[in-house]
A and B are shown apart, each in its own frame.
Chain A
Amino acid sequence: MLTAKISKDKLDPNKRSLLQMIHVDGWLLLGLLVLMGVGLITIYSAGGQDWHLIQRQLIRLGVATIVMLAVAQIPVLALRRLSIYFYGIGVLMLIAVLAVGDVGKGAQRWLDLGFVRFQPSEILKLAVPMVVAWYISRFNLPPKLPQTFAGFILAAIPTLLIAKQPDLGTSLLIASSGVFAIFLAGMSWKLIGAVTVAVSGFTPIMWFFLMQDYQKQRVLTFLNPESDPLGAGYHIIQSQIAIGSGGLQGKGWLQGTQSQLEFLPERHTDFIFAVFSEEFGFFGVLGLLAIYSYIVVRGMIIAINSQDAFSKLLAGAITLTFFVYVFVNMGMVSGILPVVGVPLPLVSYGGTSMVTLMAGFGILMAISTQKRLMSRS
């Protein structure tokens, strides 16, 4: 058993290290810090060597790290019990957003509580895997059909509410976080096949009835960016030029002409991967992918090693969702997915999503470091 091996090699059940005392998974933290470092270096270049930008990103990273550490202290048991309330509040807020929310960039995403403005969809990014994991783990695994169905419903409600805002990217990410939890719980392959067919059937319905014109435009542009090289296709063409011209070795740090000469749009936010690819080349990209893979593998190891079903499902779902973030961002920047506005996790500048992301890693750390206590109790 994996569990036994690791506990024997690395962790002495009787002697808890300092990191364990503060509920920090050292391996995971290492990966995250390296990634943040890469992010800062790339932002420095992409943002025109603006120290101000670096300072603000550092503050954000600091806040997000504190949130992660704070979340890591929450007992997993408490997380499990709070799941349903957390989810309930999130869904209510989504409804509130649709009713009274501020309009930003043509979409209602923000909720103004007087003292703070935030996007309730961020809550759901964690609440959905939590509530699905909580629900499924109440029963023996693998889940039976009604439980699987109920799990889908739990994921579907916020997904549709967010899609209505409209924020297609986030809604798909939230839906997938729920689906991952169900999949990991052992959803039957037959059902997976059936769902795949259903989703394929749903695609045309989505195209004709749910998607807004600008979303359709993005998909069309994605399919053929050269059809409008100076308009909608500009982002993706310039991005591909940046990546392609990086070659094997890259143009060197601060030497990327596409980014330094401002041909690349949104270069320190959503398209930062293009800047990285241009300056560090194919070898650099392989290195970056290695860091992400390391974090994902570490997350899955935490999930496998955790001792109860809720922890396993939650840790697995969070980790896989993180991977999907990375995949979607790189896919859109390099032109194999439509542009949906997903930042590259921990590398892109800014975004409230970073706090959510780090809170998710806080949960992973809680699960990783608290299992000893749980198994003893």
Chain B
Amino acid sequence: MPRKRVTIRDHSAEANLFARRAVIALIFAAIMLSMVVSNLHYLQVTRYDDYQTRSNGNRIKILPVAPNRGLIYDRNGTLLAENRAVYTLEIIPEQVKKLDDTLARLADLLSIDEDDITEFHKELKRHRRFKPVALLNNMPHDQVALFEAHRYQFPGVSVEARLSRFYPYADILTHVLGYVGRITRKDLQKLDEAGLSATYAATHDIGKLGIEKYHEEKLHGDVGYQEVEVNSQGRIIRTLSFTPPTPGQDIVLNIDIRLQQEAHRILAGKRGSVVMLDNRTGGVLALYSNPSYDPNLFVHGISSKNYRKLLSDPDNPLFNRATQGQYPPASTIKPLLALIGLDEGVVTPQTRVFDRGTYQLNNVEHVWRDYIPWGHGWVDMSRAIEVSCDTFFYDLAYRLGIDRISDAMREFGFGDFTGVDLYEESDANMPSRGWKKARYNQPWYIGDTISVGIGQSYWTATPLQLAQAISTLVNHGSRYIPQIIKGQLIEGEVVDEPAKELPPMTIKHADNWEVILDAMRNVVSSTHGTAHKAFKDATYTSGGKTGTAQVVGIAQGEEYDAEKLAEHLRDNAMYVGFAPANHPQITIAVALENAGGGGSNAAPVAKLMMDKYFQLQQQDDEAKFATLPDVIKPMAGK
């Protein structure tokens, strides 16, 4: 080592060596730098578009905006379902300094109970500090006013309004309108399958029942979007753009709320239903089932206590008797059977049968009884319909046979869905040989056919099916699907939907329609007609047919005694009718459970409904007349 110390250093050579190495190092550095630069060029120039997109994907979020649900009006423009503001008291936690103190002061001011506070604390944990948490849902107006007066004392607390469905006519329309309710996981699944989940991204409620469910697509509208800039925690910084939602279609129903109210009034305290159709279009003018319930209970989620109450009610208010009630049609179908008999040539209007009160077949022990034990004596076809003679129709059914009856009745719509715009509908049952074989694995007996002659024996129908069948009859075979919806309200104008016509029913001799309708007119107008008493002071003409359906079989040789029977075993009262007698405008079906005879119980209900219809018609005409210009009034008056 010491030797090296004395060695004379060649400073110039060392400096040159160092300079060379320094330059090499700098060249290396330049190479490394160019790697960095080329990588940055790759990121910032070559792949700029890609990263630009990803950067926007980070910061831009699309928030769906719910459309306003379409409103529902009746045929005269009365609002049946509206959207009302409901108020929610919300707290943004990060804007409140002393949360407990604020809650205590709010509790002093407003009616807030322990449950609300507990629920709030639960929700608080699930939310980000800058997202509002609801403290009170569905605040009443006075509470909102009270809070607004003191809001300056509560920074970070606010009242938010949201639109929610409200049904002003409550239980009067429940079975028609149905209701909306919160979208459930099951609903979401269905929407997903239908590819509609994006459309419902912001929607709170969905139609659960009735028109609200059936016409959901029209009523819902289309979602709007708000494009917002968010930070990495999801806090909204600002709105970038807004695509407004398309509100749902406002729809107009064929229903006349005044007829609906009348039905509600008439059926009070009874179990039963009324359907009134415009036979010229199939439009449903009234459809009411009693008892009913308030659909508003369901909009914000019904309490389990209330729901249990509805479910356990023995009168079953949740049940839509007009479309789901399956009743033996009883004597109401006698005119239809007679029509088939005439057309098949099995009977003529002059055919006479002697009714001694019982009907028997050769070699069969069973005795079929008329409702009048001593019988109606000699009756022809028209008379048989007027007085509702059972024996005549036992014989007619026997002669027609089940196959011809079943086929023809299917043409009238029995045993099939009417296709009304409600999902809550039953197809009831039109029995046939095949049906009995499939259902009971039994052959069809002659005896079964005899009972079919008076609308019993496995035969069931809904009141809506009956009204549709009578419409077909008065229309001489033209058939329509009953429609609750009339049209859409587009820019203040009602745009009618076309009536839904079905293939018409044809018979061999068109004259037979009027033969049968005349018999039905006689039911009302003839002094011995079963509906004569009920309609005797009517200011209009009409036709109809009563029916009294046995709910329980009466044993052979036993008397039916209404007084002795428990209420739920008493007869169902039925009535079908049309008015006016010539050029009918409306058909009606009434079914009252365990009410007794059709003539004395169901016919008066039908009469009151028809009264109302014609009274309203006159009233509306007068109102229209009053608005006519004076010049043409005298002419119109004539």
**Neighbouring B residues of A141 by C-beta, 8 Å:** 14, 17-18
Q: Interface residue count for A (Cβ, 8 Å)?
A: 52
Residue of B nearest to A237 (CB): B54
Inter-chain contact B229/A261, CB cutoff 8 Å: yes
Inter-chain contact A263/B58, CB cutoff 8 Å: yes
Chain B window 30-57, contacts with chain A (Cβ cutoff 8 Å), 1 for yes, 0 for no: 0011011101110111011011101110
Give B51-71 interface residues, CB cut-off 8 Å to A.
Answer: 51-52, 54-56, 58-59
Q: A62 interface residue, CB < 8 Å from B?
A: no
Known pairs A300-B26, A303-B22, A330-B40 / 15 extra A-B pairs, C-beta < 8 Å: A140-B10, A142-B17, A184-B18, A247-B48, A247-B52, A257-B59, A258-B59, A260-B231, A263-B231, A281-B44, A282-B45, A327-B29, A334-B39, A335-B39, A336-B36
Q: Which stretch, A34-42, A164-172, A238-246, A366-374, touches the partner chain B? A: A238-246
Q: A153 interface residue, CB < 8 Å from B?
A: no
Q: B305 interface residue, CB < 8 Å from A?
A: no
Inter-chain contact B14/A282, CB cutoff 8 Å: no
Known: A263-B58, A320-B25. A243 touches B43 (CB 8 A): yes
Partner of B44, one of A183, A246, A335: A246
With both chains docked as a complex, state the minimum distance between the C-beta of A294 and any C-beta of chain B, in angstroms. 12
Q: A22 interface residue, CB < 8 Å from B?
A: no
Chain B window 531-556, contacts with chain A (Cβ cutoff 8 Å), 1 for yes, 0 for no: 00000000000000000000000000
With both chains docked as a complex, state the minimum distance between the C-beta of A106 and any C-beta of chain B, in angstroms. 25
CA distance A312 to B58 in the complex (A): 50
Q: A212 interface residue, CB < 8 Å from B?
A: no
Known: A140-B14, A296-B29, A323-B29. A282 touches B58 (CB 8 A): no
Partner of B21, one of A139, A183, A247: A183
Q: Which stretch, A9-17, A217-225, A285-293, touches the partner chain B? A: A285-293
Chain A window 171-182, contacts with chain B (Cβ cutoff 8 Å), 1 for yes, 0 for no: 000000000100
With both chains docked as a complex, state the minimum distance between the C-beta of B534 and any C-beta of chain A, in angstroms. 77
With both chains docked as a complex, state the minimum distance between the C-beta of A172 and any C-beta of chain B, in angstroms. 15
Known: A289-B37, A316-B22. A327 touches B14 (CB 8 A): no
With both chains docked as a complex, state the minimum distance between the C-beta of A47 and any C-beta of chain B, in angstroms. 15
Known: A240-B51, A247-B48. A261 touches B25 (CB 8 A): no
Inter-chain contact B40/A277, CB cutoff 8 Å: yes
Which residues of B come within 8 Å of A, CB atoms? 4, 7, 9-11, 14-15, 17-19, 21-22, 25-26, 29, 32-33, 35-37, 39-41, 43-45, 47-48, 50-52, 54-56, 58-59, 229-233, 237
Inter-chain contact B48/A244, CB cutoff 8 Å: yes
Residue of B nearest to A238 (CB): B58
Most chain A CB within a 10 A radius of its CB, from B7, B48, B233: B48
| Chain B contact residues, majority secondary structure | helix
Residue of A nearest to B237 (CB): A261
CA distance A312 to B20 in the complex (A): 12
Inter-chain contact B233/A334, CB cutoff 8 Å: no
Inter-chain contact A304/B18, CB cutoff 8 Å: yes
Q: A248 interface residue, CB < 8 Å from B?
A: yes
Q: A309 interface residue, CB < 8 Å from B?
A: yes
CA distance A90 to B7 in the complex (A): 33
Partner of B36, one of A245, A320, A327: A327
Q: A228 interface residue, CB < 8 Å from B?
A: no
Known: A140-B14, A141-B18, A142-B17. A243 touches B58 (CB 8 A): no
Partner of B54, one of A140, A241, A297: A241
With both chains docked as a complex, state the minimum distance between the C-beta of A351 and any C-beta of chain B, in angstroms. 21
Identify 26 residue pairs between A and B in the complex whose beta-carbon atoms are under 8 Å apart, listed by A's number: A2-B19, A140-B4, A140-B7, A142-B17, A185-B18, A186-B17, A186-B21, A244-B51, A245-B51, A245-B56, A247-B45, A248-B44, A261-B59, A261-B232, A263-B231, A289-B33, A289-B37, A293-B33, A303-B22, A304-B22, A309-B9, A309-B14, A312-B18, A320-B25, A327-B32, A327-B33
Inter-chain contact A243/B29, CB cutoff 8 Å: no
Q: A50 interface residue, CB < 8 Å from B?
A: no
Give A277-334 interface residues, CB cut-off 8 Å to B.
Answer: 277, 281-282, 285-286, 289, 293, 296-297, 300, 303-304, 307, 309, 312-313, 316, 320, 323, 327, 330-331, 334
Inter-chain contact B25/A316, CB cutoff 8 Å: yes
With both chains docked as a complex, state the minimum distance between the C-beta of A200 and any C-beta of chain B, in angstroms. 17
Inter-chain contact A285/B35, CB cutoff 8 Å: no
**Neighbouring A residues of B25 by C-beta, 8 Å:** 180, 183-184, 300, 316, 320
**Neighbouring A residues of B59 by C-beta, 8 Å:** 257-258, 261, 263
Partner of A331, one of B22, B36, B229: B36
Partner of A296, one of B9, B26, B56: B26
Chain A window 254-265, contacts with chain B (Cβ cutoff 8 Å), 1 for yes, 0 for no: 000110111100
**Neighbouring B residues of A316 by C-beta, 8 Å:** 18, 21-22, 25
Known: A183-B21, A309-B14, A312-B18. A334 touches B229 (CB 8 A): no
With both chains docked as a complex, state the minimum distance between the C-beta of B94 and any C-beta of chain A, in angstroms. 16
Closest A-B pairs by Cβ, 8 of them: A244-B51, A245-B55, A261-B231, A244-B43, A282-B44, A262-B232, A245-B51, A141-B14
Inter-chain contact A282/B18, CB cutoff 8 Å: no
**Neighbouring A residues of B35 by C-beta, 8 Å:** 331, 336
CA distance A124 to B430 in the complex (A): 100
Residue of B nearest to A282 (CB): B44
**Neighbouring A residues of B10 by C-beta, 8 Å:** 140
Residue of B nearest to A147 (CB): B4
CA distance A293 to B37 in the complex (A): 12
CA distance A222 to B140 in the complex (A): 59
With both chains docked as a complex, state the minimum distance between the C-beta of A136 and any C-beta of chain B, in angstroms. 11
Partner of B18, one of A243, A245, A285, A309: A309
**Neighbouring A residues of B9 by C-beta, 8 Å:** 140, 309
With both chains docked as a complex, state the minimum distance between the C-beta of B446 and any C-beta of chain A, in angstroms. 78
**Neighbouring A residues of B14 by C-beta, 8 Å:** 140-141, 309
**Neighbouring A residues of B21 by C-beta, 8 Å:** 183-186, 316
Partner of A243, one of B4, B40, B232: B40
Inter-chain contact B44/A277, CB cutoff 8 Å: yes
**Neighbouring B residues of A183 by C-beta, 8 Å:** 21, 25
With both chains docked as a complex, state the minimum distance between the C-beta of B15 and any C-beta of chain A, in angstroms. 8
**Neighbouring B residues of A289 by C-beta, 8 Å:** 33, 36-37
Residue of B nearest to A239 (CB): B43
**Neighbouring B residues of A282 by C-beta, 8 Å:** 40-41, 44-45
**Neighbouring A residues of B51 by C-beta, 8 Å:** 240-241, 243-245
Inter-chain contact A262/B231, CB cutoff 8 Å: yes
Most chain B CB within a 10 A radius of its CB, from A2, A186, A313, A335: A186
With both chains docked as a complex, state the minimum distance between the C-beta of B17 and any C-beta of chain A, in angstroms. 5
Known: A141-B17, A262-B233, A277-B44. A245 touches B29 (CB 8 A): no
**Neighbouring A residues of B50 by C-beta, 8 Å:** 244
Give A123-165 interface residues, CB cut-off 8 Å to B.
Answer: 139-142
**Neighbouring A residues of B4 by C-beta, 8 Å:** 139-140
With both chains docked as a complex, state the minimum distance between the C-beta of A269 and any C-beta of chain B, in angstroms. 17
Residue of A nearest to B44 (CB): A282
Chain A window 1-31, contacts with chain B (Cβ cutoff 8 Å), 1 for yes, 0 for no: 0110000000000000000000000000000
With both chains docked as a complex, state the minimum distance between the C-beta of B236 and any C-beta of chain A, in angstroms. 11
